[in-house]
Structure 1
Amino acid sequence: MRLHRRDFLRLSALGGGALALGPGFWKEAYAAPAQPGPSPYGALSGSPDANGVRLPAGFTSRIIARSGQAVASTGYTWHSAPDGGACFALSTGGWVYTSNSEMTSGGVSAVRFDGGGAVVGAYRILSGTRSNCAGGPTPWGTWLSCEEYSGGRVWECDPTKSSQGVVRGALGTFAHEAVAVDPVGKALYLTEDSTSGRFYRFIPSAYPALTAGQLQAAKVNGDPLAGTGTLTWVNCAASSPASSQSTVASKTTVFNGGEGCWHDSGVIYFTTKGDNRVWAHTPATGALEVIYDDNLFANSPLTGVDNVTVSRSGDIFVAEDGGNLEICIITPGPNRVVAPFIKLEGHSASEITGPAFSPDGRRLYFSSQRGTTGSSSAGVTFEVSGPFR
């Protein structure tokens, strides 16, 4: 029997540490990385809907905004190159969806919805920044918008107010991609979109204030593919990337092309596009594992991993930058499955960005950054609703 290279890599990675740990470990280790399989939502439709979206049965899409055009009847012009986003509940029963602009002029816009999901407002919440890529929501209701260039910083914004935002320089100066907050460990985790990038942790001096604290870069110990990975942390300066700090660079691990980052139920999920992996870090134990790697199984559907979010059921939704323009789902539990959930037709020169669920978990927002023309001025922001688990 011929052993496929992907299978050999998988067996090699799992076998080294498992032999000494017994059959219980083998059961979990073999189940850990997500395998291609049927989606809990069923197959995608054979043809796209009127908006160019292929969806499982029972789901529908609508277009919320288009770059260069007014959002509904608000009179506010939607920004170009929509990127990372998140939803925030309002005391009125509605919610706000924030969306970064990855243009040189940067910034962040927001759309306000009433309790029934109707668009009732749109406005700019951050200006005067550059290349705002992804970011992350905080438990105290602000949006952290990340600048993706070598001198990039993180800006904290109130999603309900126009024209504001405060730089949080203590969170580092590098090509920021995304950030996630661990409310129990009172720490922030950050990805860096660079071939020499690191995975960072920020410990605020007085949580939840982000004005001061210690920035750290991660070192990987053990083998995350074999279930024996852990992270330890090395203090670094916030004034430059860890890779340019010689004493730090030699003690920390490269994460090639850090992308999305999200916290859910005590786990930090993040992605790296250089090796097309989805990772899971558990701060309480220090554990680090690879929960998806397209090299492990033939015909894995998820390529070009990018932004990530998690639904109420614990399903991980990963957007593609490239590939065949899908949002794929990775199911939780001991037998993880990866499968397509959404596919955009006619957007081959674009990327999917900003996946985020409404507070009630019934609507998923995301954008096609460059639409059907491949131009940053042709971005489209969607909403998908239906029977989410």
Structure 2
Amino acid sequence: MIPNNKRWSRRDVLRTIFFTAGAVGSASWLSGCGGSSESSASPIAPGPGVEPVPGNIPDTVESLVGRFANIGPLRETPDIHGVRTPEGFATRIVAINGELPQPAGMSPLAPQTGGVGNRPWHIFPDGGGAVPRDNGGWIYISNSEVPGVGTIGFTYPALATLANAAEELTPGLAQVGVLVFDPDGTIVDSYTILSGTTFNCAGCVTPWNTWLSCEEFPNGQVWECDPYQPGEGLARPTLGYFSHEAIAIDPRQRRLYLTEDMPDGRFYRWIPDPSDWPEGAERAALQSGRLQMLSVRGEGAEGALHSPQPVTWVDVQNPHEPQHENRLEESTIFDGGEGVWFFQGIVYFATKGDDRIWALDVAAQTIEVIYERATAEAPNDILSGVDNLFVTSLGDVLVAEDGGDMQVVVILPDRTLKPLLQVVGQDASEIAGIAFSPDGKRMYFTSDRGGRNGLGGFTNGLGMVYELILPDSV
């Protein structure tokens, strides 16, 4: 229960189409996100970054091999759901916009009726996570990235102040919905845990198994939701007002890390007041704390391409105002912050404007770039349009593409790259919402603008959710 207390991606183009088509107010209804504890034996309840794997996790990232190190190449031909995977993997569609989820999954041949829950699946499913159920099942959580009036300020920053004011008077159309699974993978329910918000992008599952949903517009907030029952969620203003993309949590140091998806965005850290998250407490109240921006010192952000650079943190000014109006010169610009994940003392995050994956060492207080599209050399040049992130308990950094060629690409601990899957025939879409079932045997992801083509296949649409079934050898 929650206490009361520079480069346009396809998403950017679609935002503009949405508004110029006059669609505001008429849209139909809707990890990594991410964070992990330091080991699989942690007493903290597993969030989306804790993918249980038998055995102990090695002490350092450098000693990890990666869960997906030995997967083969993608098969030449996509399966009946339009997905290319390595040999031994299989897929299932578990939700399609406008249809009731089906207990056995969605048929590729025709829409079905009489499914579970009281809600057709939402439009534009984006960031997602998973939490365990007491019976051995799990719940998959999914944001809805429906634009609203405030999103005009995202697409056209010069109009942000006016759009923010109009947003206050206009109910949002975005929501957060869940799929409830039994231990055998059967879908048994579906319901809403947040509504009335705007452009909910990513977020994270907390160590105490709530969901933090991020609004991605210049005056956006973070909302905390209880995934175990229908509800409306609670705003957490202490986490700031900006174009929130995703969140990662370091439960031992009691820190939250947040990305901002703007061309002049910043990277943030939230430090709870001692009374908000006392040492030894199960959870943070998320009601009072300090919001800070990252400042890269030394040779600056460009120096991080070659070697780790020292960082410091500066308190934001006017934390209860939109941060695009309160930039600090000493803070560092990160061009289009996307997914973020905490794993074994490292905060990984993506920036789409320069196609980079960053690694922040929270103990050493240094930052470096571990992947950049512009300088990548074959065979490691297969990743572009970086977006959502997920890090497995064996150190694989899974990166979903917005743009590129609709792949999920694995960055292994040795920094070599392998494709995990590719969605074919949905080129106006993007992949997001990566999360694993508690046993690690099933992976979920969204094609947030995929749908049926009416001929028994799949093409661009209003959103769908896939399940990737992993072979026992992985």
Shorter-chain TM band: 0.7 to 0.9
Question: Whole-Å Cα distance in 2 between the matches of residues 91 and 149 of structure 1?
Answer: 36
In 2, the alpha carbon distance for the partners of 1:242 and 1:128 equals 22
* Distance of 1:122 and 1:224 partners within structure 2: 44
| Structure 1 segment 316-327 matched on structure 2, within 5 A | 316-327=397-408
Counterparts in 2 of 1:107-186, with a 5 A limit? Answer: 107-186=175-254
Name the residue aligned to 1:91: 134
Task: State the one-letter code of the partner of 1:60.
Answer: A
Which residue pairs with 2:449 in the alignment?
370
User: Counterpart of 1:56 in 2: which secondary structure?
Assistant: coil
Question: Helix, strand or coil for the counterpart of 1:226?
Answer: coil
Alignment length (residue pairs): 349
1:366: Cα distance to partner? Answer: 0.4
Amino acid at match of 2:259: T
1:80–1:378: 8 Å Cα contact kept in structure 2? yes
The answer to whether structure 1 residue 221 and structure 2 residue 297 are counterparts is yes
Shift of 1:143: 0.5
Residue 69 of structure 1 aligns to which amino acid in structure 2? E
**1:226 Cα deviation after fit:** 2.3
Q: Is the 8 A contact 1:39 1:337 kept in 2?
A: no
Instruction: List alignment gaps of at least 5 residues for structure 1.
Output: 1-31, 33-37
In structure 2, the partner of 1:231 is: 311
Cα-to-partner distance string for 1:17-72 (whole Å, 9 max, x where unaligned): xxxxxxxxxxxxxxx9xxxxx96311000100000000001100000000111011
1:223-271 CA distance string (max 9 Å, x none): 322222132100013223444225xx21100000000011122221110
Scaled by the length of structure 2, what TM-score is found? Answer: 0.71
Structural mapping, 1:7-18, within 5 Å: none
Moved more, 273-282 or 232-241: 232-241
Unaligned runs of 5+ in 2: 1-61, 63-67, 103-114, 148-172, 278-283
Query: Which TM-score applies when normalising by structure 1?
Result: 0.86
CA distance in 1, matches of 2:223, 2:265: 20
Work out whether residues 271 and 289 of structure 2, in 8 Å CA contact, stay in contact via their aligned partners in 1.
yes
8 Å Cα contact 1:198-1:243 kept in structure 2 = no
| 1:375 shift after superposition | 9.3
Within the alignment, does 1:269 sit opposite 2:348 as a pair?
A: yes
Q: CA deviation digits over 1:141-194, x for unaligned, max 9?
A: 110000000110000001111022000001000110000111111010000000
CA RMSD of aligned residues (A): 1.8
Q: Hey, what does 1:29 align to over in structure 2? A: none
1:312 aligns with 2:393: yes
Q: Distance in 1 between matches of 2:76 and 2:416?
A: 21
Give the corresponding residue for 1:381.
465
> Partners in 2 of 1:42 and 1:143 — Cα distance?
34
Give the letter aligned to residue 71 of structure 2.
Y
Question: What percentage of aligned pairs have identical amino acids?
Answer: 45
Secondary structure in 1 aligned to 2:271? strand
